[in-house]
């Protein structure tokens, strides 16, 4: 793929220092806000996760969760490192194909697959994890129409992961809505129905649960439950146990104190896998689907200070960015950030201020209640840890989407250009008159 080189390599050779001069140079080319993707950090995340699990269980596969951030260049980079592509829609599936991923290295999850999605993925020998009973009819029809083919599927399962009588699910949900229930007879019915199809094998089990505390004990429970069911129902057809995503990455202490490490998760999960499948030669693949852990800390967002003002006695710093660029879930914690000042003046005193964005939403606060020297017009704020669920979730609201610039050692190049008004109001989509 052609790289769109921002400028010659040398002109940014000192970019590392995050100097005002260097950011101003980027601003001249890309506008007053943009993302920076640190490719070395991305590779480091991949290697750390891979090493933690593979050193304990060799048949280990990372399925990168596309939905977390599907910038094509990033997905391709992870595929080059050896990651499988975990996708949850035809759009994501087709992106993986477009960037050259081997279809057998695509894991197709998600709750809304169509018949065509399933036929296409099975034709390509991708790993298809069935999420709902309605999809089973498509699989049956596929098997009927392809009698000569040994068809393989996986099932996403739903079971109790309560801890001490409390649901660990995100936002206090009591019940996870995904997968096939193992507790009300649904899974049993499905297994009984499928075992009558000669050319079909259920070869994999999948269990992803989005929990707020991402505790190691949750992963132990998921792994144990999947192994137990696999042994009772899949016997020697078992090819993979997929424990989903949702693990913490290397989170800044200001956001989460005492987050488990990759080694903590790997130790808990792999010890169960090794115990359940002691014969190394017959071990099923263990699949992990990290999203946040892979990309969150690989992205920064740079926004220029456009103005400052005081309303009553409260100070506001207005930047060319929005809460949608850095935390679309609009949580209230401040991300780690740096202020890159045009003028460094040690004599100024600290003040309290908020950083607010360009939208007309009252709640568009990028950071609250900071207390230090106020940023000034033409300074830049660098918000860190913004790679997960930002770029994919940023609504087309009020302004065009900013550019994404990748940094690899001292080389900088564009992996997404700044959107133009023509692309935003695409003439192939909108009718103007």
Ligand X SMILES: Cc1ncc(COP(=O)(O)O)c(C=O)c1O
Give contact residues for ligand X (rule: CB under 6 A).
Answer: 65, 68, 86, 109, 208, 210, 244-246, 289-293, 388
Q: Which residues are within 8 A (CB) of 250 and not within 5 positions of it... i.e. 6 or more apart?
A: 45, 48, 259, 293, 297
List residues bridging with 34 in a β-sheet. Answer: 302, 403
CA angle 344, 347, 349 (to 5 degrees): 100
Identify which of residues 380 and 389 has a Cβ nearer to ligand X in the complex. Answer: 389
> To the nearest whole angstrom, how small is the minimum distance from the Cβ of residue 110 to ligand X?
7
CB 102 to ligand X: min, Å: 20
Closest CA to 300 of 201, 405, 171: 405
DSSP lists the bridge partners of residue 170 as none
Cβ-based nearer residue to ligand X, 88 or 381: 88
To the nearest whole angstrom, how small is the minimum distance from the Cβ of residue 260 to ligand X? 13
Nearer to ligand X, 327 or 399 (CB): 327
Alpha-carbon distances, residue 317 vs 89, 343, 369, 422 (angstroms): 39, 16, 11, 30
> For residue 346, what are the contacts with CB-CB under 8 A and spacing of at least 6?
none
For residues 291 and 245, the answer to whether their CB atoms sit within 8 Å is yes
Residue whose Cβ sits closest to ligand X: 291
Q: Measured between alpha carbons, how far is 71 from 423 in angstroms, rounded to an integer? A: 17
In the structure encoding, which two tokens stand for residue 260, read together?
Answer: 């488990």
Closest approach, Cβ 165 to ligand X, in A, equals 24
Burial of 87 (0-12, 13-18, 19+ CB in 10 A): buried
In angstroms, the CA 137 to CA 133 distance is 8
Residue closer to ligand X, measured from CB, 204 or 246: 246
Q: Which is nearer to ligand X, 117 or 289 (CB)?
A: 289
Give the E-state strand segments of 20-105 in sequence order: 33-38, 60-65, 84-87
Contact between residue 423 and residue 405 where contact means Cβ atoms under 8 Å apart: no
Residue nearer to ligand X on the CB measure, 33 or 158: 158
Integer Cα distance of 53 and 55 in angstroms: 6
| Closest approach of ligand X to the CB of residue 402, in Å | 22
Q: How far is the CB of 244 from ligand X (least distance, A)?
A: 5
Instruction: Tell me how far, at minimum, the Cβ of 212 lies from ligand X, in Å.
Output: 11
Least Cβ distance, residue 253 to ligand X (angstroms) = 19
By the 8 A CB rule, do 218 and 163 touch? yes
For ligand X, the closer of residues 95 and 412 by Cβ is 95
Give yes or no for a contact between 33 and 324, defined as CB atoms under 8 angstroms apart.
Answer: no
Q: How far apart are CA 355 and CA 375, in angstroms?
A: 9
**Residues 324 and 398: beta-carbon distance below 8 Å:** no
Query: Smallest Cα–Cα separation from 340: which of 301, 311, 369, 371?
Result: 301
If the CB atoms of residues 33 and 45 are measured against ligand X, the closer one turns out to be 45
Q: Which residue, 65 or 385, is less far from ligand X as judged by CB?
A: 65
Residue with Cβ nearer ligand X (249 or 284): 249
Q: How far is the CB of 293 from ligand X (least distance, A)?
A: 6
Rounded to the nearest whole angstrom, what is the least distance from the CB of residue 243 to ligand X in the complex?
9
Q: Is the dihedral of CA 42, 366, 308, 253 positive or negative?
A: negative
């Amino acid at each position: 793929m052609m790289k769109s080189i921002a400028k010659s390599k040398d002109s940014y050779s000192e970019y590392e220092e995050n100097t005002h001069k260097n950011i101003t140079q980027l601003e001249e080319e890309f506008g007053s806000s943009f993302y920076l993707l640190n490719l070395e950090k991305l590779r480091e995340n991949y290697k750390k996760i891979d090493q933690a699990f593979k050193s304990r269980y060799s048949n280990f596969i990372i399925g990168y969760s596309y939905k977390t951030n599907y910038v094509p260049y990033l997905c391709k980079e992870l595929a080059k490192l050896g990651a499988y592509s975990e996708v949850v829609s035809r759009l994501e599936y087709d992106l993986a194909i477009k960037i050259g991923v081997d279809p057998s290295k695509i894991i197709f999850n998600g709750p809304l697959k169509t018949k065509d999605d399933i036929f296409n993925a099975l034709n390509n020998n991708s790993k298809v994890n069935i999420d709902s009973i309605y999809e089973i009819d498509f699989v049956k029809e596929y098997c009927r129409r392809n009698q000569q083919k040994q068809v393989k599927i996986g099932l996403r399962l739903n079971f109790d992961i309560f801890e001490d009588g409390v649901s660990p699910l995100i936002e206090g949900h009591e019940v996870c809505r995904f997968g096939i229930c193992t507790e009300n007879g649904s899974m049993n019915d499905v297994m009984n129905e499928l075992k009558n199809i000669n050319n079909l094998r259920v070869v994999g089990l999948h269990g992803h649960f989005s929990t707020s505390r991402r505790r190691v004990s949750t992963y132990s429970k998921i792994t144990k439950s999947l192994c137990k069911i696999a042994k009772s129902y899949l016997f020697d057809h078992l090819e993979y146990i997929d424990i989903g995503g949702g693990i913490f990455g290397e989170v800044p202490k200001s956001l989460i104190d005492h987050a488990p490490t990759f080694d903590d998760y790997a130790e808990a999960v792999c010890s169960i896998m090794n115990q359940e499948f002691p014969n190394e030669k017959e071990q099923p693949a263990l699949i992990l689907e990290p999203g946040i852990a892979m990309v969150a800390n690989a992205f920064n967002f740079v926004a220029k200070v456009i103005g400052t003002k005081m309303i009553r006695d409260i100070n506001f710093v207005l930047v060319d960015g929005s809460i949608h660029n850095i935390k679309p879930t609009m949580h209230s914690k401040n991300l780690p950030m740096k202020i890159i000042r045009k003028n460094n003046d040690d004599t100024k005193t600290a003040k309290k201020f908020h950083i607010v964005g360009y939208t007309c939403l009252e709640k568009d606060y990028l950071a609250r209640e900071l207390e230090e020297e106020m940023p000034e017009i033409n300074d830049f704020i660098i918000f860190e840890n913004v790679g997960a669920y930002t770029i994919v979730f940023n609504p087309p609201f009020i302004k065009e989407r900013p550019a994404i610039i990748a940094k690899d050692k001292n080389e900088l190049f564009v992996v997404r250009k700044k959107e133009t008004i023509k692309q935003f109001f695409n003439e192939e989509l909108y009718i103007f008159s």
